[in-house]
Chain A
């Protein structure tokens, strides 16, 4: 008689799985696939309006593509080599970066300061907070037209005011640096409030006890701002910088509307305020109708934005690094 040492207690064989009912199958399908269906609209739209134009633009940039022409011969990277040696393109890059720097830096600092003010106990707080967003909801074109008139050489209000304090009239449109400044004020006027609200939202998530203990330790308002608020806001600041980089380097409406008259897309007779997007438009559409070359400009602009955004993020990481540790200690 053998002893079955490993005898297992008798177990009833598992019941064969019966065919799942319709409801059951639907429910499994539901849990498995419906999330994909829910996120699908974004990707569908992105595919149609984002990825496809991107790929198509690249395809176009490899051709000698006269917008009206019936034939578009393939020319490889000729457009790019030509573009890299094109002084007018680099001129527009310098303009764009110049306008970007003198608009974005003061803008983000002002937004930070404004958010800090709005974060205090104020009467009619919501009203103030809403008010800073007003410039952002006005139409860019309308703003640009108004500013273009304000910055007029002969009939502009700014020159009129300058005249009262004894400064002689500045030809805002014909002087490269003056044009940058004028366009930057438009950008700042429009976007400072927007960024301030983003900063404000992030500030409100900072625990109040940090400030309380800092106050007990004897830190003043300014010290609290630089040692608590700013470091804890770093992710938000990085977000704002990236968004501003993308927007700033694609600047089009403001400089385009700032210039008016014949061939305004050129940004002045010597391209004083022509940004890269304007240069792209000038080549892809009037007066050159060279779609391939314009597309190459678009791709280089894409690369430029990626590089500048990366540089900004790296710089910010480094800048904020030390003080953050101090706070979290």
Chain B
């Protein structure tokens, strides 16, 4: 009897202990290995940053550091909520995190989550970045530097030479660039293309083109789009927004869009099946095109000038969250990756255009050609305009507002709304989103 009871007691104790263990097990485990072992730095990215070779080089020169990258190829829409959750929870984020420029404004509003890079000698690096790119990384009061610039999004127009040939259009990039000095010319070319019934649309999605036109128009006008520089929402009153919207409506009205929702499964399939002939491509898009269209389309793509004049879409920063346990090492890695050398390495790997003036002048960039895009002189095409590029200011709820306007454009594209209704929706929903 006694032994039986003891055994049962032991069982009870075991069950209780297991339960306790079960509940506490998830709390532990984030302590790094012993201090004398190599430390692991986690880098969180999205899309294609092209850092793989740079990591190897860095690890070779820093034997105490091991680098792990998470999130390559991932969608920004999936990445940003995760990063925000990690920051809000105070744990989980990598030691170095990539932040897209549209989201940076929101993170800048809460700078306490990040290490102030100015406290770690970043001020000396100012000359390594284009002025506006450097300033974007600073908080409004200029006292904290959240992130170091990686790339910028100088614009071009990527097109398929095989489809252009089929439609009887010129295929040479110089000749193609001359076809469309303005967006109205682009629409005319599109109409010619469409009339030839190649089985492909002229462009992928109205929203992509809209973003391009907006950032270009706003950059050339007053330098802001949805918010003015006092952070007042001006979606409905900024002529740049309405002008970009109207141009996009003309494109939709001419039936040029393939309506493949950007970044959707259908969009990716449309790349593979060569279902559209042109796509507005900021420098970072070249890597996306190559990834989506695949090796089979190598040499069928080429790059021409963007209609209109210049423009910048996208570009990112590297920041170090305060929750990182290896801040000093992480800062050093971020500095390395955003150095001119690091930016050149990334450009060569996956195409993001450097934000460092030194890198932009480097022969490695200026003379570079992209084999996938019919040996197009990408360095020349993208780097030339980059130094004169005018950035667009982004306000606090830029992402949420942009989402509303994009959705309004898409609803017109899909025939669910008239252009007038779409515009009313865009303004009303943007105001609602900004208030949330």
A: which residues have CB within 8 A of B?
Answer: 23, 26-27, 30, 34, 37-38, 40-41, 44-45, 48, 66-70, 145, 148-149, 152-155, 171, 173-174, 259-266, 269-270, 281, 283, 285-291, 293
Q: Which 5 A-B pairs have the closest CB atoms?
A: A261-B264, A41-B19, A285-B81, A269-B410, A287-B400
Shortest CB-to-CB span from A237 to chain B, Å, is 34
A-B pair count, CB < 8 Å, reads: 135
Kindly supply a per-residue 1/0 record for chain B positions 1-22, scoring 1 wherever the CB is within 8 Å of any chain A CB and 0 otherwise: 1100110110010011011101
- State in angstroms the CA–CA spacing of A286 and B46 once bound together: 15
- Is the beta-carbon distance between A289 and B407 smaller than 8 angstroms? no
Given known contacts A45-B22, A262-B261, A263-B77, is B5 in contact with A26 (CB within 8 Å)? yes
Given contacts A145-B265, A261-B263, 18 further A-B contacts (CB under 8 A): A26-B6, A34-B9, A37-B16, A40-B19, A154-B266, A260-B263, A260-B264, A261-B266, A263-B403, A263-B406, A266-B403, A269-B416, A270-B411, A286-B77, A287-B403, A288-B400, A288-B433, A289-B84
Main secondary structure of the interface of B (DSSP, over half): helix
Given known contacts A261-B263, A269-B416, is B84 in contact with A67 (CB within 8 Å)? yes
Cross-chain pairs A/B with CB under 8 angstroms, 16 sampled: A26-B2, A38-B12, A40-B15, A41-B22, A44-B23, A45-B23, A67-B84, A152-B265, A260-B263, A262-B406, A263-B406, A269-B410, A269-B414, A270-B416, A286-B84, A287-B397
- Is the beta-carbon distance between B1 and A266 smaller than 8 angstroms? no
- Is the beta-carbon distance between A34 and B23 smaller than 8 angstroms? no
- Is the beta-carbon distance between B267 and A41 smaller than 8 angstroms? no
Please report which residues of chain B, range 149-178, place their CB below 8 angstroms from some CB of chain A when the two chains form the complex.
Answer: none
- State in angstroms the CA–CA spacing of A150 and B267 once bound together: 15
- State in angstroms the CA–CA spacing of A48 and B27 once bound together: 12
- State in angstroms the CA–CA spacing of A265 and B416 once bound together: 19
Does B372 touch A at the CB level, under 8 Å? no
Given known contacts A30-B9, A286-B77, is B275 in contact with A154 (CB within 8 Å)? yes
B interface bracket (residues with beta carbon within 8 Å of A) = 35 or more
- Is the beta-carbon distance between A68 and B436 smaller than 8 angstroms? no
Kindly supply a per-residue 1/0 record for chain B positions 394-413, scoring 1 wherever the CB is within 8 Å of any chain A CB and 0 otherwise: 00010110010011101100
- State in angstroms the CA–CA spacing of A328 and B286 once bound together: 73
- Is the beta-carbon distance between B263 and A286 smaller than 8 angstroms? no
- Is the beta-carbon distance between B23 and A68 smaller than 8 angstroms? no
By a CB distance below 8 angstroms, the chain A residues around B80 are 286
Shortest CB-to-CB span from B338 to chain A, Å, is 23
By a CB distance below 8 angstroms, the chain A residues around B403 are 262-263, 266, 287
By a CB distance below 8 angstroms, the chain A residues around B273 are 155
- Is the beta-carbon distance between A68 and B5 smaller than 8 angstroms? no
Given known contacts A38-B12, A155-B269, is B399 in contact with A286 (CB within 8 Å)? yes
- Is the beta-carbon distance between B77 and A265 smaller than 8 angstroms? yes
- State in angstroms the CA–CA spacing of A70 and B265 once bound together: 38
- State in angstroms the CA–CA spacing of A291 and B89 once bound together: 12
By a CB distance below 8 angstroms, the chain A residues around B20 are 44
Of B104-112, B222-230, B300-308, which binds chain A?
B104-112
By a CB distance below 8 angstroms, the chain A residues around B85 are 67, 285
- Is the beta-carbon distance between B88 and A68 smaller than 8 angstroms? yes
Partner of A67, one of B18, B77, B88, B270: B88
Does B182 touch A at the CB level, under 8 Å? no
- Is the beta-carbon distance between A27 and B84 smaller than 8 angstroms? no
Given known contacts A23-B1, A44-B23, A155-B273, is B8 in contact with A260 (CB within 8 Å)? no
Shortest CB-to-CB span from A89 to chain B, Å, is 12
- Is the beta-carbon distance between A48 and B266 smaller than 8 angstroms? no
Please report which residues of chain B, range 75-130, place their CB below 8 angstroms from some CB of chain A when the two chains form the complex.
Answer: 77, 80-81, 84-85, 87-88, 106-107, 109-110, 112-113
- State in angstroms the CA–CA spacing of A293 and B416 once bound together: 29
- Is the beta-carbon distance between B12 and A269 smaller than 8 angstroms? no
- State in angstroms the CA–CA spacing of A173 and B414 once bound together: 10
Shortest CB-to-CB span from A34 to chain B, Å, is 5
- Is the beta-carbon distance between A68 and B2 smaller than 8 angstroms? no
By a CB distance below 8 angstroms, the chain A residues around B2 are 23, 26
- State in angstroms the CA–CA spacing of A171 and B414 once bound together: 9
- State in angstroms the CA–CA spacing of A66 and B87 once bound together: 12
By a CB distance below 8 angstroms, the chain B residues around A266 are 403, 407
- State in angstroms the CA–CA spacing of A262 and B106 once bound together: 19
By a CB distance below 8 angstroms, the chain A residues around B406 are 262-263
Partner of B267, one of A38, A67, A261: A261
By a CB distance below 8 angstroms, the chain B residues around A26 are 2, 5-6, 9
Shortest CB-to-CB span from A149 to chain B, Å, is 6
- State in angstroms the CA–CA spacing of A89 and B148 once bound together: 39
Given known contacts A68-B107, A269-B414, A286-B81, is B113 in contact with A152 (CB within 8 Å)? no
Does B312 touch A at the CB level, under 8 Å? no
- State in angstroms the CA–CA spacing of A34 and B112 once bound together: 49
- Is the beta-carbon distance between A37 and B12 smaller than 8 angstroms? yes
- Is the beta-carbon distance between B16 and A41 smaller than 8 angstroms? yes
- State in angstroms the CA–CA spacing of A261 and B417 once bound together: 20
Given known contacts A174-B414, A269-B407, A290-B436, is B19 in contact with A44 (CB within 8 Å)? yes
- State in angstroms the CA–CA spacing of A174 and B22 once bound together: 45
- Is the beta-carbon distance between B15 and A155 smaller than 8 angstroms? no
- Is the beta-carbon distance between A40 and B16 smaller than 8 angstroms? yes
- State in angstroms the CA–CA spacing of A34 and B12 once bound together: 7
Does B243 touch A at the CB level, under 8 Å? no
- State in angstroms the CA–CA spacing of A9 and B417 once bound together: 103
Given known contacts A34-B8, A171-B414, A269-B414, is B262 in contact with A262 (CB within 8 Å)? yes
Does B324 touch A at the CB level, under 8 Å? no
By a CB distance below 8 angstroms, the chain A residues around B407 are 263, 266, 269-270
Shortest CB-to-CB span from A48 to chain B, Å, is 5
- State in angstroms the CA–CA spacing of A67 and B15 once bound together: 38
By a CB distance below 8 angstroms, the chain A residues around B5 are 23, 26-27, 30
Does B278 touch A at the CB level, under 8 Å? no
Kindly supply a per-residue 1/0 record for chain B positions 266-280, scoring 1 wherever the CB is within 8 Å of any chain A CB and 0 otherwise: 110110010100000
Shortest CB-to-CB span from A45 to chain B, Å, is 7
By a CB distance below 8 angstroms, the chain B residues around A262 are 77, 207, 261-264, 403, 406
- State in angstroms the CA–CA spacing of A44 and B15 once bound together: 12
Q: Name the CB-closest residue of A to B207.
A: A262
